[in-house]
A and B are shown apart, each in its own frame.
Chain A
Amino acid sequence: MIAKKVLLVGNFGVGKTSLIRRFVLNEFSEEYISTIGVRVSSKIIKIDTEEIKLLIWDVAGTSADEKVPKAYFLGSSAAMFVFDLSREETYNNIKNQVDIVKQLSGLGTITVVGNKKDLVTFKEIEQLKKTISISIDLITSAKDDENVEDAFKELAKQSLN
């Protein structure tokens, strides 16, 4: 089976850890992440007929945060940038942040995910899509388990390219 390292990045509190929890369902102490700023989880996902083992790196803090060792971004096959649909400060600089992740990881494309769908209206999402400087790949809710599996599937697909 092939294994791929994938990253989840995005501002504090956008729901990265919640998405991973929802997807992976194996609990792992939060201490680890606060000490070294990352937590690695694994999950096998099936894309068409192929099974892929995803090693998901949950990188705490923003990508621009100096505290996060640059090495965390190395050797990854895909990355998801998560923002919070209900908090503008998590996406008003999104293009820049995604570019930084691209630079650090060397990846050409980043899966952009707007989380906390349950906290905003359809209208607000439409409005947001118009104002945002980047296209959103998926709209999720870790809370209501909406599109979470799809988001990771997208990530897995990206990792195969």
Chain B
Amino acid sequence: MEKTTVDHKDNRFELLKELLLADDRKDFNILRDEYLEREKFKVKVAPVVDEKIEDLKENFPKYFGKTITETIKIQIRDSQDEVVEALYPIMGKLVKKFIIAEITKLTESINQTINDKFSISQIIKRLFKGKRTDADDVLQEVFEPIIEEVFVINKDSGLLAGNYSRGNIADKDMVSGMLTAIKSFAKDSFSKDGQDIEDIKFENFQLSIQNFKTIYIAIATSGVISSDFEEELLDNINNLAEIILRDRSYLTDEEKLNSIIQKTLIKTE
């Protein structure tokens, strides 16, 4: 059937519309096509996107964790205060975790320090043990306390001024030097107020260190050490120090010093 524009009002109106709005219609068609195309695309793509989003939700830390951690690390390093301040209200939990981790680290380092301290006593033990055997130690244990070694050492240089030795330490000079180094090390690393080490005990062996202005005296004892023995020893050491510091020639005359050590501390004749 043929369409006539004359006999139908509506038709005419349509025609007019067509004529007048031709350009708009063209635009509209383009838009519609585009929209339909997009809808088609959406139907196709949506599941993939959803899947991807689910995957991201689940595996976000895996994909981006490293990058984010790195970024945060750098941020924290570069502007620690600001970052913590900004993060705290939002991510209180995270910050808490971070602090806990830091405290854990601190605890570990304290433990490490204790271990180091322990290993220092191990070093000293080996320095002083010389060539004596464990069997000697066991026998010794039941006996009264005995002075094993006395070292009078120049404080700064660690040079041995004189000594008494019951055992047979291979290299007394080296032992004096090492002991001095250990003292400095311990003073530097462990104590808050630069306090010196004074007593080191392990098993039936004890090392007491008495510090004076220019010298220190290290006494190694073994056996069961009573408080009486300890008190007497301390008195004797102070007497010895007094003698030495009053007459400095002791510090340059090893033989003279050795005999005064023997006389004041060992007293066996």
A residues adjacent to B (C-beta < 8 A): 3-5, 26, 28, 31-32, 35-42, 53, 55, 57, 69-72, 74-77
Q: Of A35, A70, A75, which one neighbours B158 at CB under 8 angstroms?
A: A75
Which of B123, B171, B176 makes the CB contact (< 8 A) with A36? B123
B261 at the interface (CB under 8 A from A): no
A3 to B159, alpha carbons, bound, how many Å? 7
CA distance A150 to B120 in the complex (A): 35
Question: Which chain A residues border B174 with CB–CB below 8 Å?
Answer: 28, 40-42, 55
Residues of B within 8 A of A (CB): 116, 119-120, 123, 154-160, 171, 173-174, 176-178, 181-182, 184-185, 187-189
Which residues of A are found within 8 Å of B158, using beta-carbon distances?
5, 40, 55, 57, 75
CB within 8 A of A35: which of B123, B155, B177, B187?
Answer: B123
Choose from B120, B123, B155, B177 the contact partner of A42 (Cβ within 8 Å).
Answer: B177
**CB proximity of A35 to chain B, nearest CB, Å:** 6
* Pairwise interchain contact B171-A72, C-beta atoms closer than 8 A: no
A4-B159 Cα distance, complex, nearest whole Å: 7
Instruction: Decide if B187 touches A69 in the complex (CB within 8 Å).
Output: yes
Would B177 and A5 count as touching, CB distance under 8 A?
Answer: yes
Q: A3-B173, A40-B158, A69-B185 are in contact. Are A35 and B178 (CB under 8 A)?
A: no
> What 13 additional pairs, Cβ within 8 angstroms, besides A5-B159, A69-B189, A71-B156?
A3-B173, A5-B158, A28-B174, A35-B116, A35-B123, A39-B178, A40-B158, A40-B177, A69-B188, A71-B188, A72-B184, A75-B154, A75-B155
Chain B residues positioned under 8 Å from A32 (CB to CB): 123, 178
Write the nearest CB–CB distance from A160 to chain B, whole angstroms.
15
Least Cβ distance of B126 to chain A in Å?
Answer: 8
Complex alpha-carbon distance, A74 and B156, angstroms: 5
B178 and A53 within 8 A (CB): no
Measured in the bound complex, the distance between the Cα atoms of B174 and A3 in whole Å is: 11
Q: Which of B119, B120, B178, B181 has the most CB of A within 10 A?
A: B181
Question: Chain B nearest CB: distance from A161 CB in Å?
Answer: 16
